[in-house]
Amino acid sequence: MDKKHIIVSETPRPFWQLPIAALLFTAVIYMVIKDLYYFNWSNNYFRYMSADMQIIPFFIAAGIALCSRKKIYVDIENSKFKPTLEVGSLKFGKWKTIHNYEYVSVFHQPLTSGDYTFEVNLWYDKNKHFELYSQNSFEDAMSIGYDLSEQLNINLLDATIPNDFKWIDKEALKRGASETKKA
């Protein structure tokens, strides 16, 4: 990892979602071109065209949902972060300034299905936080939290057990990892 910039990204979308998104976008382009080609000023045509125009936003929204990806860019040197929603090469997001990094926390959120999702938050300016990562893998969440806390040289908090929060001894983790590599 680059010491000046960190990119936290959700896992890639399943491959099957991309062709479906492409089909939805293709249908939108087809509808727009068809409506422009057959355009005339009659009232019947506007009623017909409005039916297409009502469906187009749903197709676009579904296509974006199937092929978008969330990423967070952290610029350590300038103390900024930028959450983005990326669709292909288009990136939507805005840089925000972080003044005082406090710590990184990993905790779990219960889902309605009874499962859990693990979240990684960056805490700053005493009581402000920014959600960096959310997945259902504890190991992935802890790894992201650890890497980020190492890059920012701040503490890591394991808050996955309610009312039993523990600061992670990162030195012990490093020793354990190096001993595992030797074996």
How do residues 56-68 score in pLDDT, each as one tens digit? 999 999 999 898 8
Q: How far is CA 132 from CA 4, 25, 58, 118, 148, in A?
A: 17, 29, 28, 11, 10
Look at residues 161, 162, 131 and name the one whose alpha carbon lies nearest to residue 145: 131
Model pLDDT, residue 101: 84
Q: Taking a C-beta distance cutoff of 8 angstroms, is the pair 63, 24 a contact?
A: yes
Domain boundaries, the chain: 17-67, 98-182
Whole-structure pTM over 0.85, yes or no?
Answer: no
Q: What strands lie across the sheet with 166-167, from one edge to the other? A: 128-135, 116-124, 101-110, 155-159, 166-167
- The helix (run of H) or strand (run of E) holding residue 43 is helix 43-67
Mind listing the pLDDT tens digit for each residue in 79-134? 888 888 888 788 899 998 877 888 999 988 877 887 888 888 888 888 888 887 78
Q: 43-52, 138-147, 149-158: which range is least confident on average?
A: 43-52
